[in-house]
Structure 1
Amino acid sequence: MSIGRLASTLYTRYQSHSKSYHSHLIQNFESPNNAGALDKNDPNVGTGLVGAPACGDVMKLQIKVDDANKIIDSKFKTFGCGAAIASSNIATEWIKGKDLNDALNISNQDIAQHLKLPPVKLHCSMLAEDAIKAAVNHLQSSRSDKT
């Protein structure tokens, strides 16, 4: 198969799938605001790395807090489907400005409902919730190790 034919086939598949997803999911997948990484050596940065062996999705979510433990920045890198990327992006958007305890209250159900995830993609929102928890736990444990 030629490169042009492959590109055309992939674009056609993308177009047919994009019509079945909610606009919130499409927007967060196509234009993620928080893709990237924070300095892992910064003592105010916590990193959560989670994965779903069943589908191969891997999500790294990082948070940066100020002296009052308020999340001032958040980034993600996700290797997975559009629903996983959208879930990561919405999670990083929602935790900004929250303190650590409030960030832990964001649930996969909230993310799934906002993105209108189909049942077969609910694991993506679960990964996002797990990544938030892992990032907070990493930050808290790294700080307790230094005291």
Structure 2
Amino acid sequence: MLLSPRAAQHVHSPRNAGRFEGATHVGIGGVPGDGPYVRMWLRVEGQTVRRAGYECNGCPSSIAAASMAAGLATGRTLSQIALLEPCDLLLLLGGLPEGKEEYADLAVQALLHPVPLHRP
């Protein structure tokens, strides 16, 4: 299976790529330096994600999953994000190629476990 049209859009025009000034939290899915991973930077105000950015390695499927996840997180509360599952991301992307579904899981893991960048 090739990338779906929606997933291909995220690969060719990734949204929210990279770290940004003002991030308050970071979450990681996978292990950087030891295989595929997705790192999400979030700016959380109150309980709402105002901005999300990502870094990932791997194939185009990882870019599509991370880009979609960052877009979904923006404007949502942490409790809403906690309900997100990899199958939701796969559905919204129109699927990923066989054997690449793990990238949706990595993107969701990165969103579900953000830690503050600066502790008081």
If the length of structure 2 is used for normalisation, what is the TM-score?
Answer: 0.86
1:131 aligns with 2:114: no
Matched to 1:32, the amino acid is P
Matched to 2:98, the amino acid is P
1:51 aligns with 2:33: no
**Whole-angstrom CA distance in 2 between matches of 1:38 and 1:47:** 11
Residue ranges of structure 1 left out of the alignment (5+ in a row): 1-16
Please say which of residues 110-119 and 98-107 is displaced more in the overlay.
110-119
Which protein has the bigger strand share?
Answer: 2
Cα RMSD (Å): 2.2
Q: 2:40 aligns with which of 52, 61, 75?
A: 61
Matched with 1:108 is: 86
Matched with 1:24 is: 6
Tell me by how many angstroms 1:56 deviates. Answer: 2.0
Where relative contact order (Cα < 8 A, 6+ residues apart) is larger, the structure is 2
Instruction: Say if 1:74 and 1:29 are closer, same or farther in 2 by CA, change over 3 A.
Output: same
**Whole-angstrom CA distance in 2 between matches of 1:123 and 1:114:** 15
Matched to 1:117, the amino acid is L
Matched with 1:9 is: none
**Whole-angstrom CA distance in 2 between matches of 1:50 and 1:38:** 19
Tell me by how many angstroms 1:78 deviates. Answer: 0.8
If the length of structure 1 is used for normalisation, what is the TM-score?
Answer: 0.72
1:71 aligns with 2:52: no
Deviation track 1:45-80 (CA, whole Å, cap 9, x = no partner) reads 110122269x921211011012x2211000001111
Q: May I ask how many residue pairs the two structures share in their alignment?
A: 118
* Corresponding residue SS for 1:59: strand
**Whole-angstrom CA distance in 2 between matches of 1:129 and 1:21:** 19
Matched to 1:58, the amino acid is Y
**Whole-angstrom CA distance in 2 between matches of 1:119 and 1:45:** 35
Structure with larger Rg: 1
Tell me by how many angstroms 1:108 deviates. Answer: 0.4
Tell me by how many angstroms 1:104 deviates. Answer: 1.3
